[in-house]
Amino acid sequence: MARTLSSDVIDRAEAMFREYLRSRALKYTSERRTLLLEVLRNNEHFEAEQLLISMRHAGKRIAKATIYRTLPLLVDCGVVKQVQFGEKLARYEHTFGQGPHDHMICLRCRRVIEFDSAAAARLRETEAARHRFTAHSHRFQIWGVCSQCR
């Protein structure tokens, strides 16, 4: 779940976030930095409430509203990606883990398996071209049963 953070990742993420904020005349507050670090510590998929709880545990005070207001900024600057597994709540993952990937979700154990998305990205370009569409991103989710559950 949490992992040791390489300072390299922190530096790159922080640079992206700061640059984004600066370009829009927004501020890099201590809450935003704290949240950024918390997000990077989460290797798995996380949600707003979870961030609040683990930050509280770590003794960092932050308002829920601030989390909800900051997450879109992190998405916008590319540090975080929204993933959604058909639930109502918003799930996120940071983009400094393994490379581009999509998700398989086991219907039995709810486990999420990540798989390389290179092929899906190629397919997306093919399909986009066919419809004169300019693709920016995609989401490919596969539901089924994982090997352990069979």
Partner DNA sequence: GTCAATGCAAACATTTTGCAACTCT
Partner DNA sequence: AGAGTTGCAAAATGTTTGCATTGAC
Q: How far is the CB of 70 from DNA (least distance, A)?
A: 6
Q: Which residues are CB-neighbours of 71 under 8 A, at least 6 positions away?
A: 48, 80, 90, 92
CB 63 within 8 A of CB 52: no
**Which one of 6-14, 35-43, 62-70, 130-138 is the stretch in contact with a copy of itself (CB under 8 A)?**
130-138
CB atoms within 10 A of CB 11: 10
Nearer to DNA, 44 or 49 (CB): 49
Q: Least distance to a copy of itself from the beta carbon of 30, Å?
A: 29
Helix (H, G, I), strand (E, B) or coil at 116: strand
Which residues are at the interface with a copy of itself (CB under 8 A)? 82, 84, 86, 88, 90, 102, 104, 106-107, 113, 115, 119-120, 123-124, 126-128, 130-147, 150
